[in-house]
Amino acid sequence: MRNTLATKLLFDLSQPGRRGAVFPKSDVPDQALDELIPRAHQSTSAPALPEVTEPEVIRHFVNLSTKNMSVDTHFYPLGSCTMKYNPKRHERLSALPGIVDMHPYRSVEDSQGMLELLFTMQAMLAEISGLPAISLQPAAGAQGEFTALLVSSAYFRDKGETRTKVLFPNSAHGTNPASAALAGFECVQLKSTAQGFVDLNELSAHLDQSTAVFMVTNPNTLGMFERDLPEIARRVHAVGGLVYIDGANMNAICGITRPGDFGGDMMHYNVHKTFTGPHGAGGPGSGPIAVRDFLGDYLPGPVVVRREGPGTSGVSSDSTLVYDLAVPARSIGRVRSFFGNVGILVRGYCYLRTLGAAGVRAMSENAVLNANYLLAKLKDVLPVPQGDRCMHEFVASARQLKEERGISAMDIAKRLLDYGFHAPTVYFPLVVPESIMIEPTETESRETLDAFAQAIRDIVREDPELLHQAPHETPISRPDEVRAARTPVLKWITSEG
Amino acid sequence: MAYLYNTPQQQREMLATIGVGSIAELFEQVPENLRLRRPLDLPPALTEIELENHLRELAAKNTTKKTGVCFLGGGSYDHFIPSAIDAVASRSEFYTAYTPYQAEASQGTLQAFFEYQSLICQLTGMDVSNASLYEGGTAVSEAVFMAMRVTDRHSKVVILGSVHPEYRQVCETYLRQVNCELVVVPVPDGIADVAAVRQVLDDRTACLVIQQPNFFGCLEQTRELTDAARKVGALSVVSFDPISLGLLARPGEYGADIAVAEGQALGIPMQYGGPYLGILACRQEFVRKMPGRLIGETVDREGQRCYVLNLQAREQHIRREKATSNICTNQGLMALRATVYLSLLGPTGLREVAELCTRKAHYAAERLSKVPGIELAFRQPFFKEFALRCRAGVDPILKKARAAGFDIGPDLKRFRNSGVSSAENCLLIAVTEQRSRTEIDKLAEALSG
Amino acid sequence: MEPDRLKYAKTDEWVSLDGEVATIGISDFAVNALTDLVYIDLPSPGKKVEAGKPFGVVESVKAASDMYSPVTGEVVESNSKLADDLGKLSSDPFGAGWLLKVRVTSPGLSADLMDRAAYEQHWAARAH
């Protein structure tokens, strides 16, 4: 069964006169267009979009889709990304009329159901984090980081303090320093201990009155719990700084321990990861933040509030109004237009309502069980420098294989595609050489984990040359990335030149 | 129900393989005193039937376009969404995949986004488009930061008062930390006074931010404005309405340096404000200063045409604090929806939608401005949206509309704190291709009553 | 240029001072460590550079390295031919692969710069 149908671009398929959508004739009195919109504002030609039919569009994109690996088709143990199953009920429920078709400027009177949902979502996220004040506005984790850093700035400014530095360990996600720089901070990267934990001495050496925030992922990017966090927080707080928890790895600890209980002052969630977004081929995400009560007034607005009892609302005389929108008193302002990535928040809400407290805890327990099981099945062929235990993910190293047989992390990643598994994250974190970061998530069966472990055991015994050339069974072989970057071709170029 | 597979028996066997006696032992890394010693206080778990009933109850508490005819505007619009878009976007292979890090296993995503970039270039007349940003407001902010890098001017940005107030608020939030002055040029008459804009532009200015059609629906003199920016060595950033480009001049035609947009109108449901689509396209020479992902064409080892993530050295996972942006997760699935939308409509369909919006909006403006006590706020050319001034205040008008089953607005009072001049007694009306003459007539009657 | 007659920065740039104009490049060791170069960004004439501060970036597919100026002054010329032929940087780092000519504001070179022998030691020490 050959699938070559999607090798052409839409532009290559275009035939003048074809179309995939037809709109009704105008039903209002006819007027010359030039009388409505002056010629000077009009374009002299229509944009040269491809001209194709609906069946062509469908065949094109459906065939294209089959060139992807995805959670629904393959095991996808992409470390740090929590590629868990995306329940189908979420798609139906988030598309219900009354939810999917709500204009964002609909009056609060006519949005009570949505506001109730979002209010409950705020409350659930506050409970899971142990941090009481929530903003659902950030569009993704990176924007959550940025938003929280702005919250910290506003807080320090109000205290009359000028704090210029953000500290983070060298195992941090790239978004941490990038967000700090965007928020106008100086970035200070700290060396980790040999085991990959925050180095307390290194931390203390860099902490002073100019420290605004220490950003740390917990569990960290090596899949280990930073057990010194209370001491870390004590030292950061002692110089007047705040502790930020990057919540990318929340899937390990929900219902077990809470950022607010282990010293965090602020954090973001990745709803598209922990609460099964889905990931949408790169997005959309949703990156709500949770902060301590004394930071709540600085959150971006609006947030959802509940008015106590009828008739107390300042915005309406409607006595049934319970939920309302409010801007926190000393808000940093907006970080995006409208309320937030509500479509993803609705899915996260559905997930938490399906799981309940016991389910949420079982989610993290089984994520950790699956990761430890896979670690146990692999450690003899793919050493894990951090040891025999992990949280929801672990970072193996192909360093020895590379030295002894020339097999790199990249080779293993590419060969796994031939075996029908998506590759783990490779070459991150940078603190482990030839790193392979594996996060199985809780929604995989033991049988799948066994098959994956067997695939890696088989691969490391294969001819290195075969691996350097891998993958062999995917729609394309390894692409020439150097050529792509040296002479970038970033759009379709008409064949006429 | 946590979507778990492993039976208790399997769990025991797995624990034995690991060499521990219980799941609790796996959490030994978490110090005892940090553990939560009670169940989370969350609402009770629901089965699928219960959840569906619950969501339907919540949905029923919102009136929507099914119950209220939508004339709401202000950056989110009730445009028609062809069914084929949902069919493509609900393909598991797209929506349950992530960022295409493994090109060999992601050609579907990569090619689709390469097509997205190509379509956005054709649509805007710009040279190069990225593969999406979050939404319209952050797209403006990212463009402003990009202009600061390109011009190496970091102390002043000029933005028209007719740019969406929420986009301006986002810009203000983003710029406050880096001590860059954001100068807002007041727009009391519906469109910017080009002479007034020239007066605030100077050789410190990184860019001039324009919206076309602007927040009030009116058409700015974009050619004159981009010229004014160029004269002082500043870039012009234009926030456009993608639907309008079926009819109006493209940003590339009137000299925009960076074109950004809210892409919601391109087949993305309104869903109370997001997820939407941030579009950003620019001139070729700025490509390495762009934020966000870029897909590039190349060949594989057999010489086959294929696609990869390109110019990644700009991005946070490589450049860290020196990256062109902190964005990682973008709006991929929304970009896919826009790709399918533009493919289906083609040049003819897009022209039809743009014309229908124009004709219906102008008909509505004529009808509504004849309602006693209501007049057009501005005497300027407009596209699909316009501002009405209600002499006796907006509230009674909104009440009448709501009682008759119409959603109109937003009331510009909503943006009073963000310096929307002429906010008093004004509201916006947006008219998409979905609105019928009958609906417009009925709205006019309802407001007259 | 003769590698032995140049001065080197800890950040792997070389510099040669002729009157008040300094020529700047990247060392052979550093260039060899950067594989598959795809792009170089150099300041245009007229731009100021400052000793110890980054003046440009050289990129491979999955890495970007800042280049730091060994001197303070104003760029008088940058090697525009490199953009089209990055191979020159690798094949001839001390000749056709030069990067910048800078008119220095203060005479002489900083004492922090190393001679070839010291730089070789510095490189070897860092590699382990």
B102 to chain C, any CB pair closer than 8 A? The answer is no
The answer to the question of residue A496 being in a domain is no
Chain C positions touching B313 (Cβ under 8 A) are 38-39, 57, 59-64
Q: Regarding beta strands B426-430 and B406-409, do their DSSP bridges make them parallel or antiparallel, or are they unpaired?
A: unpaired
Q: Which of residues 35-94 of B touch A (CB under 8 A)?
A: 35-36, 39-48, 51-52, 54-66, 68, 70, 72, 74-76, 78, 80, 82, 84, 86-88, 90-94
Dump the DSSP string for C64-128. Answer: EEEEE-SS-EEEEEE-GGGGG-THHHHH-TTTTT--EEEEESSSS--TT-B-HHHHHHHHHHHH-
What amino acid is encoded at A298 in this protein? Answer: Y
Quote the pLDDT of residue A318.
Answer: 53
Quote the pLDDT of residue A314.
Answer: 43
Please indicate, yes or no, whether residues A276 and A423 belong to a single structural domain of this protein: no
| Three-state secondary-structure class, residue A394 | strand
Q: What percent of chain B has pLDDT over 70?
A: 97
Please indicate, yes or no, whether residues A300 and A368 belong to a single structural domain of this protein: no
Please indicate, yes or no, whether residues A244 and A330 belong to a single structural domain of this protein: yes
B303 to chain A, any CB pair closer than 8 A? The answer is no
Chain A positions touching B306 (Cβ under 8 A) are 476, 479
B12-30 mean pLDDT:
97
Quote the pLDDT of residue C126.
Answer: 79
Interchain proximity B3–A336, CB inside 8 Å: no
Q: Scanning every residue of chain C, which has its alpha carbon at the shortest distance from the alpha carbon of A488? A: C38
Interchain proximity B347–A46, CB inside 8 Å: yes
The answer to the question of residue A447 being in a domain is yes
Residue-wise over B304-316: b if at least 16 C-beta within 10 A, else e? eebbbbbbbbbbb
Which among C41, C57, C62 is the nearest to B312, CB-wise? C62
Q: Are B406 and B446 in contact (CB under 8 A)?
A: yes
Which residue shows structure tokens 């074809």?
Answer: A18
| Three-state secondary-structure class, residue A341 | coil
CATH 3.40.640.10 intervals, chain B: 83-340
Q: Are A246 and A217 in contact (CB under 8 A)?
A: yes
The answer to the question of residue A491 being in a domain is no
* pLDDT at residue B400 is higher than 90: yes
| Residue A1: C-alpha distances to residues A4, A5, A421, B88 (Å) | 10, 11, 21, 22
A482 to chain C, any CB pair closer than 8 A? The answer is yes
Most A CBs within 10 Å, among C37, C39, C40, C61, to test the A interface:
C61
Q: Are A279 and B98 in contact (CB under 8 A)?
A: yes
Please indicate, yes or no, whether residues A345 and A370 belong to a single structural domain of this protein: no
Q: Which two tokens stand for residue B365?
A: 């403006």
Dist CA B435 CA B429 (whole Å): 12
Quote the pLDDT of residue A412.
Answer: 98
Whichever domain contains A294, its CATH number is: 3.40.640.10
Sorted by where each begins, the domain ranges of chain C are: 3-127
Dist CA B212 CA B249 (whole Å): 10
Dist CA B406 CA B273 (whole Å): 19
Which among A181, A340, A481 is the nearest to B274, CB-wise? A340
Dump the DSSP string for B105-173. Answer: GBHHHHHHHHHHHHHHHHHHT-SEE-S-BS-HHHHHHHHHHHHHHHHT--SEEEEETTS-HHHHHHHHH
Please indicate, yes or no, whether residues A401 and A286 belong to a single structural domain of this protein: no
* The total number of residues written for chain A in this structure: 497
Interchain proximity B318–C64, CB inside 8 Å: yes
Q: Which two tokens stand for residue B127?
A: 């040279």
Please indicate, yes or no, whether residues A348 and A370 belong to a single structural domain of this protein: no
What are chain C's partners, defined as 3 or more CB pairs within 8 angstroms?
A, B
Q: Which of residues 192-231 of B touch A (CB under 8 A)?
A: 219
What amino acid is encoded at C119 in this protein? Answer: Y
| Residue C109: C-alpha distances to residues C16, C52, C106 (Å) | 9, 12, 8
B124-151 mean pLDDT:
98
B250-278 mean pLDDT:
98
What amino acid is encoded at B448 in this protein? Answer: S
Q: Write out residues in chain A with pLDDT < 70, as ranges.
A: 1-6, 309-320, 495-497
Please indicate, yes or no, whether residues A254 and A396 belong to a single structural domain of this protein: no
Which among A427, A481, A485 is the nearest to C39, CB-wise? A485
State which CATH number among 1.10.3720.10, 1.10.10.60, 3.40.640.10, 3.40.630.10 fits the domain covering B83-340: 3.40.640.10
* pLDDT at residue B251 is higher than 90: yes
Mean confidence (pLDDT) of chain B: 96
Interchain proximity A174–B319, CB inside 8 Å: yes
Q: Scanning every residue of chain A, which has its alpha carbon at the shortest distance from the alpha carbon of C38? A: A486
Interchain proximity A177–B118, CB inside 8 Å: no
Q: Determine whether domain B69-81+347-448 maps to CATH 3.90.1150.10.
A: yes
The answer to the question of residue A334 being in a domain is yes
Please indicate, yes or no, whether residues A124 and A188 belong to a single structural domain of this protein: yes
What pTM value is reported for the model?
A: 0.96
Helix ranges, A108-248 (H): 112-129, 141-158, 175-182, 200-206, 229-238
Least confident among A118-132, B93-107, B292-306, C108-122: C108-122
Q: Are C99 and C47 in contact (CB under 8 A)?
A: no
Quote the pLDDT of residue B64.
Answer: 61
C3-127 fold: OB fold (Dihydrolipoamide Acetyltransferase, E2P) (2.40.50)
What amino acid is encoded at A23 in this protein? Answer: F
Quote the pLDDT of residue A320.
Answer: 64
Please indicate, yes or no, whether residues A106 and A255 belong to a single structural domain of this protein: yes
Distance from CA of A482 to the nearest CA of C (A): 6
* pLDDT at residue B419 is higher than 80: no
Chain A positions touching C36 (Cβ under 8 A) are 482
Quote the pLDDT of residue A3.
Answer: 67
Distance from CA of A481 to the nearest CA of C (A): 7
Q: What percent of chain B has pLDDT over 90?
A: 93
pLDDT in tens, A428-453: 998 899 999 999 999 999 999 999 99
> Which among A328, A352, A376 is the end of a domain?
A352
Quote the pLDDT of residue A430.
Answer: 86
Please indicate, yes or no, whether residues A470 and A326 belong to a single structural domain of this protein: no
Please indicate, yes or no, whether residues A120 and A242 belong to a single structural domain of this protein: yes
pLDDT in tens, B210-223: 999 999 999 999 99
Beta-sheet strand order (sheet of B278-282): B128-129, B278-282, B258-262, B235-240, B205-212, B156-160, B181-185
Whichever domain contains A469, its CATH number is: 3.90.1150.10
Please indicate, yes or no, whether residues A160 and A232 belong to a single structural domain of this protein: yes
Chain A positions touching C59 (Cβ under 8 A) are 485
| Three-state secondary-structure class, residue A154 | helix
Interchain proximity A481–C61, CB inside 8 Å: yes
Name the residue range of residue A311's domain: 90-352
Q: Scanning every residue of chain A, which has its alpha carbon at the shortest distance from the alpha carbon of C61? A: A482
Q: Which residues contact C98 (CB under 8 A, 6 or more apart)?
A: C1, C23, C24, C25, C79
Q: Which of residues 252-291 of B touch C (CB under 8 A)?
A: 288
Quote the pLDDT of residue A5.
Answer: 65
B60 to chain C, any CB pair closer than 8 A? The answer is no
Q: Are C28 and C93 in contact (CB under 8 A)?
A: yes
Quote the pLDDT of residue A315.
Answer: 46
Chain B positions touching A128 (Cβ under 8 A) are 40, 42
Q: Which residues contact B373 (CB under 8 A, 6 or more apart)?
A: B390, B391, B392
Cis peptide before A433 (omega within 30 of 0): no
The answer to the question of residue A34 being in a domain is yes
Chain A positions touching B295 (Cβ under 8 A) are 490
